[in-house]
Structure 1
Amino acid sequence: MLIRTLSILGLLMAFLSTHAQESIHVIGRIDSAYSTEIRFIPQLDFVQYKNDTITVPIQEDGSFEVSLPLTGYTLFRTLLSREYVNLRGFPGDTVQVYLSEQHVDESYTVTGDNRTAALAAYRKGYEAYFAQLAPREAQIQHYRDDEAMEFKAYSDSIQDQKWAYFQAHKDSLPEEYIHYFESTFPYSRQMMSLNYLFNHKALHNFQGDFPMPPEAFFADMRELPLTGLESPLNESVYDFAEKFISNIPETFGSSLKKIEYIQANTDGELREALMFSRLRSTFDMQDLTEFLPHIEAFLASDAKESYRKEIQEDHDKYLRFMPGKALPDFELLDLDGKPVKLSDFRGQWVSLEFWASWCGPCRVQAPHIRKAMEELKDAPIVFLFVSVDEDEENWRKAVEMDQLGGIHLRAQGLKAIQLKEYQLTGVPVSFYVNPEGVIAVSNPIQPMNGRMVQDWLKVIEVE
């Protein structure tokens, strides 16, 4: 039986505290017809998101109870199904938490005679106030219709009112939260504006001419310091820096320029985190030649060991699956239950696509792949789709719905033994394979960009 789980992601961030490890006692009740266990994940690093999990069973009456280790003032992300809310807690407190699986963000309540419960009540009021100030429908309208500076003025007015709300309630708030909010608000207030460029384009279906916002749009953002920041690194500062560096005119559209900007304008933990995130994203590109010196320098640096380890793993994997390398063979069953090997197609070009029914980007690409396949129907290419769905019925339904031709195989999960050598950590993953079974293109440009046909014709012509 498929067990649906409820996850509480704890993003452990100690502010102003070097105390010994303590605990917060959580007594909870969940209104859910599906969840049978609750998971607590101490998220020590919000950049990597890799942590051990504490699993607690949910009783028949929906209750659960657990003591969680904390070090200082802590942010919890509470995730149930696909919704989440943030809670902040203090070691030594006992709180009662209620959640409904149907409306997590609206239903959650935290009670108790302590700072954790009082802060939860304040945060819920703060979020409700913001929802009134900027309803989702109004935000969408402004993102769609406003010019850049018009939207900046709208966003700034909202942020000024959020600051006023905080000031009006400041006397009743814990010292730790006051420090947190005052130190992070200058950064977090810019996030709504920084989302403008992408959201404006998306709401116009990326059709038309979208000039870069004027320099005045970024003026107050450039005044925020990205060096000499206190430790540990704050998630709001990191989020701002990552999005700011991605959107400013001097780096926009160039991963290399973003890396150079990070190196020139940040330091300490922020630089390490930004470089880790940016270098990881480069492994999705076809050609890493210009990035290899930066990758090698990062690996030789004194950056956090876990960052360097993950970059090293990605680097080794890239070298193993770069153009010119032979792909490992595998054997899987097709829709008719017949065994098919990758090596069965030696002598033919192969478009190899790893995907899954639950993968949003994979499914969005399907119409574009279908269109490209039609245009390439006379080309000597075999289209091979390998699903990593664990559920066979979901796989078959998705194949039928997407109406893609070609050959369809299924491996039972990303970690399926047949695909062990591919070291898959997610999908989609694609390869263009030549008749000798050698990679011609690794990580080709996604089909939704309309380049699949010309890229394939170019590859075949070059060969």
Structure 2
Amino acid sequence: MITGPRIATHVESTGPPSPRAPPTGRPRMRKSAAVATALIVSSALVFLVSRAVNGPSTAGADVAIDIPAAALTMWYPPVQEFDNGGELLEDGRFDALMAALDEAMTAEETLADPGRSIYPNVQGFIRRIAIPWLSDEQTGRASAYLTSLVDRFPEHERQIRRQISALEYNAPARRTIPSFWVSVQNHAYPGSLYPEDGSFADEHIDRRLAGLHALLELPETLNDLEREAGRMLRNFTQLLQAAEVNDEQADRIIAYFDAVAGRHPELAEMIDEQRRYVEYLLPGRVARNIVGTDLEGVEFSLEDYRGNIVVLVFSGQWCGPCREEYPYHSFALEHYRDDPVVFLGVNSDPDIETMRDAKANGEAPAYRSWWDESTEGPIATDWQVAAWPSIHVLDPEGVIRHTNTRGAGLIMTLDEMLADMRRAESGQAASLEDERFEALPYPDDWSPDGWYFTDEQIDGMLGALDAILGRPETVEDIERNAGPVFADFTARLQTGRISDEQTERVLAWFDAFVEDHPVLAQMVDERRRYMEHLIPGRVARNIVGKDLDGAEFSLEDYRGSVVVLVFSGEWCGPCRDEYPYHRFAMELYKDDPVVFLGVNSDADIETILASKARGEAPDYRAWWDGHGQPDAEGAAADGPIARAWNVRGWPSVFMIDQDGVIRYINKRGGELIQVLDWMVMEVRRAGFEPEGTAG
């Protein structure tokens, strides 16, 4: 016998009633909470996720699934009774549906938890009116009833309005019945189930399996099992694309699938399809091979490209979002031409000449492709492609590492994978910046989770700063040692956003330090200005000076545009490595309010002028800051602008929004493109249209 964790639901009411039959006018029988909850807690029969074979057992542990109590009741007659082929819904059946809707909306379960009950209650109604045709009078009655709910639940008006829109969409006869489980999926699969480190923890898998089991046991699911389960299982495996699944986790998922198939033999075929998906098509699994002919009729296989990072793209000229990816793919093909990176396509255009012509005229990137004849071709079917474009990134061993990474995210992914390969080949464990950060005794969780630092993180960092400055070896020569320590501390603050209250606490700590060490007042004051102007969330300091042609301009001239401010120089190899990304971004966002500005630190202004003339350096406007003492490499990195902006490494990149606020610092390569995508999307959503874009 296979055992596994029990699944419990949090039900705030006295318990959901039994699945109900069509309305007959008789009182409805209600079951006790214990019996109703058993609809979900049937784990001895179904939820079979034991780790006993490959790991520590969790048998007997509860995984709580907080499904709304109203969703545990079958309020409506079976959905199959309403599949009339698109004919007008009989008034008697419509009246019964309206009575059931009212019963659901006035039930104790709903009144105790209206915010989470409205969607599933109304979704059950909409499922039954989707296939039939509703008359204008029926649609008006249903709409009036839903509108009346606004008076009863005014705090949930927005949600009710969405349901009215869904009613209006489904009132004409539709071809498909919408799923019920989507109305409760956020309760089964909360957002916290997405790991940050790229790999699922066992707890994530337990929780996802428990959520799937809860959805499969819903009365609405059991009433329409094959239709609901098929969509549900596909959604479950697609959610697993978010991170890597290890072998033991895959075995547990497959064991659960087998248990479901044993209990519901009618689902065996669709479960077998999802089993293959888990075995071959999730991140962390070796990809299924593809063998076929390219657009020129030459046979080749996916395995021919082992040893390379492979970007496998399912697309077609018919697909607008696919074509939107072409600029990123074309850039990657050029940028990584000397690296072990290969793009391969699976084309779904019905006519092979469509893609041949697109490649010939330069519209589509020129990478090798299989022709799959349609979106339901054999390759797309075998890889269970449900949306276009679909993109799988494979490592040199043929293991899928990322799925559906698009746009700048794909560039960033390739950058990271190539960096990992190079580090592995050289034996280098981490970047110099990572080594510097890890060498000091800051808390393990000092880096912000998301965009903002927590109060606990700021307290921990201040405690670490205090400890470092109190070390005997630091105190022995405090004037020389304190500067780098403070610089490291403020550099960490560039990785996230810090609130005004947190800023005040940090500055108060600085003031207390100066009281004990007045000789360091000037250095600490420099850090204070840094905190006030040069970390994310602060309005950037203005820059006024002359460009390379001698014309004066200022940073504030570009308010209203997203500004990428780049401190660099021709003397700096990492700076030159960024040029292709900058040039690509300037072309990609040429119709958007995006401006690149530079601060050049070459000792001789002719150096950067010659580079721009040769087309090596991107042609964006720049201040020349090479007024400091040049070093052996031709760098004058201590010019007045660099000093005012406290630049300590090259390149340094500040990304400034249209209000002049620093949003991100030191984003490079593909990550720079990714962040620009986000910032440009914000501008577009806000409806921002500049009168003119400078430079």
Instruction: Give the TM-score range, shorter chain.
Output: 0.3 to 0.5
Where is the strand percentage greater, Structure 1 or Structure 2?
1
Tell which has more relative contact order, 1 or 2 (C-alpha 8 A, sep 6+). Answer: 1
Where is the helix percentage greater, Structure 1 or Structure 2?
2
Could you say which structure has the larger radius of gyration?
A: 2
Task: Return the TM-score normalized by structure 1.
Answer: 0.44
Task: Return the TM-score normalized by structure 2.
Answer: 0.32
